[in-house]
Structure 1
Amino acid sequence: LDPISTLKIEDLMRELVERYTIIIVTHNMQQAARVSDFTAFFNMDEDRAGYLVEFGETRQIFTNPQDRRTEDYVTGRFG
């Protein structure tokens, strides 16, 4: 989406979160940091797809992740 449409959707999400639980899936780390209260980081390997690596408050995940794989992803080292 273009930046204006993205902003409109994020504004709508902020309104809806008063009444609903919203789950989004994104590879856009900036968007995830802006709109989420909690973040789950999933990964895959040769044996498993979509396994949970780390879950926590978004601020924690982005500023002090507990798992190196999470840190590598949110800082752009891989992904």
Structure 2
Amino acid sequence: MEELCLQLKESYTIITVTHNMQQASRIADWTAFFNTETDRSGKRRGKLVEFSPTEVMFGNPQTDEAREYISGRFG
């Protein structure tokens, strides 16, 4: 699958949703990290925590939350 994605991304935009951080680091040009938060009424809502070039996300995440997830401290 990764080989095919690498070939196709030369001509198409591909969005991959995965929990496999190693796979994301190998095939993605940009990476988005989403998480949830609980609002005042107690409902869980999705939120975009960080969106950056993959090298930045995995080499020097800009948010503590992304840094902790990528390093395996939570998730």
Residue 66 of structure 2 corresponds to 70
5+ residue gaps in structure 2?
A: none
5+ residue gaps in structure 1?
A: 1-8
- Deviation of the 1:68 alpha carbon: 0.2
Is the partner of 2:10 in helix, strand or coil?
Answer: coil
What TM-score results when the alignment is normalised by the length of structure 1? 0.85
What TM-score results when the alignment is normalised by the length of structure 2? 0.89
RMSD: 0.9
Moved over 2 A (4+): 47-50
Is the partner of 2:38 in helix, strand or coil?
Answer: coil
Structure with the bigger percentage of strand? 2
Percent pairwise identity: 56
Between 1 and 2, higher relative CO (CA 8 Å, sep ≥ 6) is seen in: 2
Structure with the bigger percentage of helix? 1
